Amino acid sequence: MDKICITPDSVYQGEGISKGLARGLLVYYGDCNLTGEGMGIGSIALRDHKFTYFSRSWTDSTESGVLKRTFTLDTRMMWGIRGKPSNFLTRWIESGISAYMQLPWFQSIIMLPVLPLRTLLDIHPVFETIPSRGKVTFTYRVTGHHVDVTVENDMSFRPKDTLCLLNELSAAWFTAGWDGKHATSPPPGWEKVGPDQMPVSLVDPEHGIRFFMGRPSVSPSVPHTIYRGREQSGDLCWAGFCLELGPLDGVQESLEARYCIGFTQGACP
């Protein structure tokens, strides 16, 4: 466990589908980058009824040794064929993603034809720079192998907006789930996690460690859901947890969310 290092990095660009997007904290085991294609510990996405938005720019500040990273939601993800963005294709895929996340038992089945079709038609995301949708600030307090994350927003929400607080590492290393006592099969894409399943974990058998998320708190009280997920195929290679806040219809005041991410070789706390 002494080999685990949790650190900010302004140089690493990532890989695969998420290359170039702004990440949270990176995680290393010795010289091995456990983050890979994942978005790191504490990063952001915003979804509305048409598009998903990410950040490609951020600012850092430090107060009393604690890092604050403010992400600017300045990037819209479109889906395109042979590099040409398509509004119709984007809306069709985004609608499908919403249904996909509600049916974990169906995810592995539906991806069997989808992945070859993506390759055949050369369907890939295209990231476009847009006027900022707003800013979200993450505060990371790292203590040993734990990170206490506080998230605050500085933006106005539109109908059907959903904030996604991402905590993702590489699916190449985190290849199994955890039932509280033993390693299990990995989750099939995204699956909801109930309150009685917290904390929720993923396992890296190669290094003998587990990556877990503790129970979050959200203020003011808004709809929120925890997901655990893993995908490894083509340009996707991530495994981790998402705290989804919303839909945020009618929310006018600032939101604050808190949660813990940690690593352990013993029983989950």
Is 73 part of any domain? yes
Helix/strand/coil percent split, the chain, to 5: 15, 50, 35
**Closest to 6 (Cα-Cα) out of 38, 28, 36:** 28
Q: How far apart are CA 59 and CA 40, in angstroms?
A: 16
Is 153 part of any domain? yes
For residue 269, what pLDDT band results from cuts at 50, 70 and 90? Answer: very low
Question: How much is the pTM?
Answer: 0.88
For residue 81, what pLDDT band results from cuts at 50, 70 and 90? Answer: confident
Tokens encoding 23: 């990440």
Is 218 part of any domain? yes
Q: How far apart are CA 140 and CA 8, in angstroms?
A: 10
Number of independent structural domains in the chain: 1
Percent over 70 (pLDDT), the chain: 84
Is 225 part of any domain? yes
- What digits encode the pLDDT tens for the residues 38-49? 999 999 999 988
Is 269 part of any domain? no
Q: Are strands 40-47 and 224-233 parallel, antiparallel or unpaired?
A: unpaired
Instruction: Please give the residue range of the domain that contains residue 121.
Output: 4-264
- Across the range 115-132, mean pLDDT stands at 70
Contacts of 178 (CB under 8 A, 6+ apart): 184, 200, 201, 202, 203, 210, 212, 268
Is 124 part of any domain? yes
